[in-house]
Amino acid sequence: MLVVAKIGTSSLTDEDGHVDRAEIRRICERLAELRSDGHTVVLVTSAAITAGRFILGFASRPGDSVTLQALSAVGQGHLMAMYNEIFAELGIVAGQVLLTPLDFFERNRYLRARHTLQRMLTLGVLPVINENDAVADDAIRFGDNDRIAALVAQLISADLLVLLTDTEGLMTEDPRVSPEASLVAEIAKIDQELESTAGGIGNQDARGGMASKLSAAKIATWGGVPTVIASNDRPHVLRDAVAGKPVGTLAHPRGNRLSARKLWIGFALGSLGSLFVDAGARRAVVERGRSLLPVGITGFKGEFTAGAAVEVAGPDGEMFAKGLVSLPSDRLGEVIGKRSKDLGEGARGAVIHRDDMVVLVTSGSHD
Element containing residue 25 per DSSP (H, E): helix 21-36
Low-confidence winner among 151-155, 254-258, 317-321, 354-358 (lowest mean pLDDT): 254-258
Q: What is the pLDDT of residues 52-89, one digit of tens each?
A: 999 999 988 888 888 988 999 999 999 999 999 999 99
Q: What is the pLDDT of residues 204-237, one digit of tens each?
A: 444 446 777 888 898 899 999 999 999 999 999 9
Element containing residue 183 per DSSP (H, E): none
> Quick check: 193 pLDDT over 90?
no
The whole-angstrom separation of Cα 18 and Cα 55 is 10
Low-confidence winner among 75-89, 202-216, 241-255, 325-339 (lowest mean pLDDT): 202-216
For range 339-345, the mean pLDDT: 68
- φ/ψ of residue 288, rounded to 5: -115, 0
For range 320-330, the mean pLDDT: 94
The whole-angstrom separation of Cα 47 and Cα 45 is 7
Confidence category of residue 364, pLDDT binned at 50, 70, 90: very low
Q: Are strands 227-231 and 249-251 parallel, antiparallel or unpaired?
A: antiparallel
pLDDT at 33: 96
Scored b (16 or more CB within 10 A) or e, 158-175 reads: bbbbbbbbbbbbbbeeee
pLDDT at 317: 92
Cβ-contact 180, 131 below 8 angstroms: no
pLDDT at 281: 96
The percentage of residues in the chain with a pLDDT greater than 70, rounded to a whole number, is: 88
Confidence category of residue 276, pLDDT binned at 50, 70, 90: very high
pLDDT at 77: 94
Which of 254, 234, 252 minimizes the C-alpha distance to 169?
Answer: 234
Confidence category of residue 133, pLDDT binned at 50, 70, 90: confident
Region for residue 124 given its phi and psi (left: phi exceeds 0; alpha: psi -120 to 50; beta: otherwise): left
Q: What structural domains does the chain harbor? A: 2-258 (3.40.1160.10), 270-359 (2.30.130.10)
The whole-angstrom separation of Cα 367 and Cα 360 is 9
pLDDT at 163: 96
The whole-angstrom separation of Cα 82 and Cα 299 is 53
More confident call, 211 vs 111:
111
> Quick check: 201 pLDDT over 70?
no
pLDDT at 348: 56
Q: What is the pLDDT of residues 163-185, one digit of tens each?
A: 999 888 888 777 777 777 788 89
- Its pTM stands at 0.83
pLDDT at 167: 85
> Quick check: 127 pLDDT over 90?
yes
- φ/ψ of residue 196, rounded to 5: -70, -20
pLDDT at 344: 60
